[in-house]
Structure 1
Amino acid sequence: MTVELVKHSASDTDVLWAARVSTAGEQSLEEVGTDPERSAGLINYLMRDRHGSPFEHTSMTFFVSAPIFVFREFHRHRVWSYNEESGRYRELQPVFYIPGAGRRLVQEGKPGRYVFTEGTPEQHRLVEQTMAESYRHSYAAYQEMLEAGIAREVARAVLPVGLFSSMYATCNARALMHFLSLRTKSEDAAVPSFPQREIEMVAERMEVVWAELMPLTHAAFVANGRVAP
């Protein structure tokens, strides 16, 4: 997985001036560029009492490269803005996802209450061999159709969701917190989540970047149960 911050306008100070306009009006402009450390309590209050709109006055754009099935889950988060590479306009490259040895393979329990456990060496070999063989056949079929003059938008239909794609994804801090609350699993969370491991890997990397940009907001998010305001 690749997660890179492309550009941003996101800081703890952005939350403060947005919040203080409700009581200070034009005087809230004085908060722009001030040290947010002295107002950590206000950020925690906003998070705790779920006054979420001040956190929306931020923006982060990430470049993400991941399997298509990860993007299918991403697109459920509709407050984000997305632009993904198109199989209509370019020939897709043969980069496919095969789970690493640390990926737990066996699901036990019912949806919402299940856990994943380690697979056997035989199961890991089966996954690797079966996926690799399937990918080779599907990409060969894709190439055969392209060489025969079939349009890219038609030929791509044979490619599996394990194919890597790339996109730009833009969000504000409030939307990112909602994403993290659902797509990461943490002992600090007030509400349990059961994310698919692959999108959790992307979410974990985004959280590291965001925590550096907005450390006070991130700390308040964790302290208040990782619930989006």
Structure 2
Amino acid sequence: MTITLRSDVSATLDADNTAGSDAKICQAARVSTLGSAAAESGEASGLINYLMRHRHGSPFEHGQLSFLVEAPIFVAREFMRHRIGWSYNETSGRYKELEPTFYTPDRWRPLVQEGKPGEYQFTQGTNEQHDVARWSHAGAYRWSWGAYQEMLDAGIAREVARNVLPVGTYTSFYATANPRALMHFLSLRTQSDEATFRSFPQQEIEAVAVDMEVAFAATFPLTYEAFVKNGRVAP
């Protein structure tokens, strides 16, 4: 049987479902003092930096970035922990026969965990360990895909047959967030020396977060600049 092994993950900005701007954030902040006249005002880096520095967060909710994410199920489940300010719709194994596409760690992916939780580090691992990881993933995937197909061929419902598929199975989902929620996500799912509070995310979700951060910086440049300048702390 043929299965596809991948190690890439991605988040692609859906431009048609992305809205807002730095100017809109400023207008939302100014409406408290200018009323409807705020709609005629423009963007101001000083105002955005002030809002970020003093953690006046609600103006940063006036915008939207939507992404199509392709990643294994275990990455999708980490996303679902981010609930406030996020919306999700995912491929359903109840309604669609899933594809035989599975995640396996590439050679760049450190394999060995050292230290205790909260303080551990990863080291690269030996060539033999990488070989074992790849063979073990591939073997488990072939068995589970065979069992899945056997049940489907026997007329068993997709929602039951999917139970044997592992969390390394690739899925696709839309993830939509406002800038405030996205900044909170980035503060937790990326590592940065510029961060006031260091985070140590799993590498696969960090790779998705990096794609999102690039899109965020391009869509809301003044907000992104203030986010980085103020220690990558979401307001």
Alignment partner of 1:78 is 2:88: no
Aligned to 2:161: 155
Give the deviation of 1:151 after TM superposition.
Answer: 0.3
2:212 counterpart of 1:202: no
* Structure 1 residue runs without a partner (length 5+): none
The equivalent residue for 1:183 is 189
Separation of aligned partners in 2, 1:197 and 1:55: 27
Q: Does 1:193 align with 2:195?
A: no
Aligned-pair CA distance for 1:110: 1.3
Tell me the distance in 1 between the aligned counterparts of 2:193 and 2:10.
25
1:4 corresponds in structure 2 to 12
Q: Give distance in 1, aligned partners of 2:214 and 2:10.
A: 13
TM-score for the superposition, normalised by structure 2 = 0.94
Are the counterparts in 1 of residues 10 and 207 from structure 2 also a CA contact under 8 Å? no
> What secondary structure, in the 3-state scheme, does the structure 1 residue paired with 2:133 have?
helix
Deviation at 1:10, TM superposition (A): 2.7
**Structure 1 partner of 2:24:** 14
- C-alpha displacement at 1:108, in angstroms? 1.0
Number of the residue aligned with 1:96? 102
Alpha-carbon distance in structure 2 between the residues aligned to 1:40 and 1:213: 14
SS state of the match for residue 82, structure 1?
A: strand
> Cα RMSD (Å) of the superposition?
0.7
Give me the identity figure in percent: 62
Counterpart amino acid of residue 175 in structure 2: A
Structure-1 separation of matches of 2:20 and 2:92? 29
Please state whether the residue corresponding to 2:68 is helix, strand or coil: strand
Between Structure 1 and Structure 2, how many residues are aligned? 224
1:67 lines up with 2:55 in the alignment: no
Match among 42, 54, 57 for residue 52 of structure 1: 57
Quick check: 10-19 or 87-96, which moved more? 10-19
What is the CA–CA distance in structure 2 between the aligned matches of 1:106 and 1:11, rounded to whole Å? 43
SS at 1:96 equivalent = strand
Could you tell me how far apart the structure 1 residues matched to 2:117 and 2:179 are? Answer: 29
Q: What does residue 149 of structure 2 align with? A: 143
Instruction: Please give the alpha-carbon distance, in whole angstroms, between the structure 2 residues aligned to 1:220 and 1:102.
Output: 32
Structure 2 residue runs of 5 or longer lacking an equivalent are: 1-8
Tell which deviates more after alignment, 207-216 or 22-31. 22-31
1:145 aligned partner, one-letter code: M
Matched position secondary structure for 1:178: helix
Q: 1:29, 1:215 → 2: CA distance?
A: 20
Runs of 4+ off more than 6 Å:
none
